[in-house]
């Protein structure tokens, strides 16, 4: 929180929120206490004339964030994934936040590339277009490789964007400190932790090597998925401030007329978008967390092409199994099993009643399954589910909130392609396939094999561990400094014996 610029930024932020009408909306959504409301008015109202006007066609909060610049736009986009912080309604409003900003010049982009590649752009590309897309952090140019003639997309960071973001993040910490100081009750939302999370996400996006790595991992995971493509990364033409991918020809999924004119089956595309997302989340635990229309194309051959890998989501293997069992329980209307899974995973405190929780879950599922197919929403179910689990003491799990937010976006894309899609019918085969492979006898055998392989690593260390244990027994130390080696050798011996037995069992399958 260094420098007078933070005080000015704080005043300018308050003034802009006041002028655009966003101040009241934010305070209402976050149920701010009286002390915070008064402080916000003091900071905002007298200086409202200093605030930026913004785009009147936008809702108040997106209008204010757009006016304040790239860091605020990105902050709003990330908050749209955190309904636990800003509330469901405001999170939904922030999802429409656009970060289309005026592009910087082609000359400036070429200067950045020449600096990153340490050679003139003309020695790399035979053609280099004007910007084809411009966002808050970077913009994209279409180019042609001089050596091979291949068309590529070149993403270039905005000049000076790192410094600008660091200044604004510094101001965000000051704002969070003020909120916590004026309202102790707000600390349950952990304002400074939210800013810290935002800082981590943005710092990754400001290093395009991280995005290139995400694109490469995503491409490797999905290489065998029929009907789905990820553009290949040109690793030797990617660095911290630029990234080069193969150019993706195709029609943006929002252009329904063009999709129809090209003869693509929109119903099939809608089904495939949803199933691919679920498959990536469950099978790989690594999914595209920004799958809106603008980041998806349909190629001339009918493949769905994913773009922009700045925001990706991860779910560990255990959580994926829990999530799949919860979804399958809802699909089968087995609310008791859904409740048991929550308790088994430790999501709900063990002192709560399973039967009461199952009853609450029924109140979530039955109204949704009573709807007509075109209105059934998995995203809505997950949102309701989080409300119920919160009442039963479940702590917020950020990775599931990101998954739920992405699920809502993907549902929207799928329904725009096919308004009559039944989300649960489409999801069922993917969830069943995952459960068959990961929550059954095959999964148990695979888990035991992995466990045995880990335990087997103790084998070469057993003689030394045994000797250390014998020496410890021959030369006992005072009780307060109990030597842990006898216990460790016991665990290691038992583990190795168990591992050998497990391997023998697996060999019989």
Nearest one of 118, 18, 5, 2 to 61, comparing CA atoms: 18
Query: Would you say 86 and 94 are in contact if contact means Cβ atoms under 8 Å apart?
Result: yes
Phi then psi for 147, rounded to 5 degrees?
-75, -40
Query: Would you say 145 and 152 are in contact if contact means Cβ atoms under 8 Å apart?
Result: yes
Dihedral of CA 337/342/344/345: which sign? positive
Half-sphere exposure of 481 (CA within 13 A, CB side): 5
Query: Would you say 143 and 137 are in contact if contact means Cβ atoms under 8 Å apart?
Result: no
Extended strands (E) in 163-262: 228-229, 242-246, 251-252
Q: Cα separation of 212 and 189, whole Å?
A: 33
Crossing angle for the helix pair 335-344 and 317-331, to the nearest 10 degrees: 160
DSSP-H helix ranges across 252-397: 256-261, 266-279, 317-331, 335-344, 354-369, 378-391
Q: Cα separation of 249 and 231, whole Å?
A: 10
The pair of three-digit structure tokens given for residue 442, joined into one six-digit string? 């095959």
447 is catalytic: no
Element (H, E) at 412: helix 398-417
Name the catalytic one among 55, 170, 284, 290. 290
Q: CA distances (Å), 353 to each of 277, 329, 348, in order?
A: 34, 18, 10
Q: CA distances (Å), 259 to each of 265, 266, 294, 298, 415, in order?
A: 8, 7, 14, 8, 15
Q: Strand pairing of 304-306 and 251-252?
A: unpaired
Q: Cα separation of 86 and 61, whole Å?
A: 12
Q: Cα separation of 508 and 247, whole Å?
A: 50
Query: Residue 425: CB partners within 8 Å, gap ≥ 6?
Result: 373
Positions annotated as catalytic residues are: 290
């Amino acid at each position: 929180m260094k420098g007078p610029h933070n005080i000015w930024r704080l005043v300018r932020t308050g003034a802009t929120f006041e002028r655009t009408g966003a101040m009241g909306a934010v305070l209402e959504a976050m149920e701010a206490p009286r002390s915070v409301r008064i402080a916000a008015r003091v900071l905002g109202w007298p200086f409202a004339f200093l605030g930026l006007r913004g785009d009147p066609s936008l809702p108040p909060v997106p209008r204010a964030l757009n006016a304040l610049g790239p860091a605020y736009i990105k902050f709003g986009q990330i908050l749209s994934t955190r309904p636990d912080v800003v509330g469901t309604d405001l999170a939904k409003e922030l999802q429409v936040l656009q970060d289309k900003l005026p592009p910087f010049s082609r000359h400036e982009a070429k200067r950045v590339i020449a600096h990153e590649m340490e050679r003139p752009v003309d020695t790399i590309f035979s053609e280099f277009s004007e910007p084809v897309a411009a966002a808050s952090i970077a913009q994209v140019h279409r180019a042609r490789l001089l050596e091979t003639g291949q068309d590529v997309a070149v993403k270039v960071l905005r000049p000076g964007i790192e410094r600008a973001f660091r200044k604004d993040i510094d101001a965000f910490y000051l704002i969070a400190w003020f909120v916590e100081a004026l309202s102790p009750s707000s600390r349950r939302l952990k304002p400074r932790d939210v800013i810290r999370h935002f800082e981590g996400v943005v710092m990754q996006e400001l290093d395009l090597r991280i995005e290139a790595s995400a694109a490469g991992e995503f491409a490797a995971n999905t290489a065998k998925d029929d009907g789905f493509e990820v553009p290949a990364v040109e690793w030797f033409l990617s660095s911290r401030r630029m990234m080069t991918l193969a150019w993706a020809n195709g029609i943006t999924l929002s252009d329904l007329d063009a999709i129809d004119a090209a003869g693509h089956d929109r119903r099939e595309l809608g089904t495939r978008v949803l199933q691919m997302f679920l498959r990536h989340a469950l099978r790989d635990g690594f999914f595209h967390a920004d799958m809106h229309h603008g980041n998806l194309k349909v190629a001339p051959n009918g493949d769905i092409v994913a773009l922009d890998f700045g925001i990706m989501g991860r779910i560990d293997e255990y959580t994926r199994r829990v999530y799949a069992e919860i979804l399958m329980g809802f699909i089968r209307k087995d609310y008791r099993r859904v409740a048991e899974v929550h308790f088994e995973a430790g999501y709900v405190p063990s002192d709560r009643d399973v039967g009461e929780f199952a009853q609450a879950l029924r109140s979530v599922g039955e109204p949704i399954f009573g709807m007509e197919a075109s209105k059934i929403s998995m995203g809505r179910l997950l949102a309701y589910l989080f409300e119920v689990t919160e009442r039963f003491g479940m702590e917020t799990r950020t990775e599931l909130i990101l998954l739920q937010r992405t699920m809502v976006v993907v549902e929207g894309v799928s329904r725009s392609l096919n308004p009559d899609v039944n989300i649960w019918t489409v999801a069922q085969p993917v969830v069943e396939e995952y459960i068959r492979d990961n929550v059954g006898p095959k999964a148990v055998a695979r888990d035991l094999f992995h466990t045995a392989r880990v335990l087997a690593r103790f084998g070469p260390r057993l003689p030394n561990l045994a000797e250390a244990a014998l020496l410890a027994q021959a030369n006992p130390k005072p009780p307060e400094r109990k030597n842990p080696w006898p216990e460790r050798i016991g665990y290691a011996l038992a583990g190795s014996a168990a591992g050998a037995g497990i391997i023998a069992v697996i060999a019989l399958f």
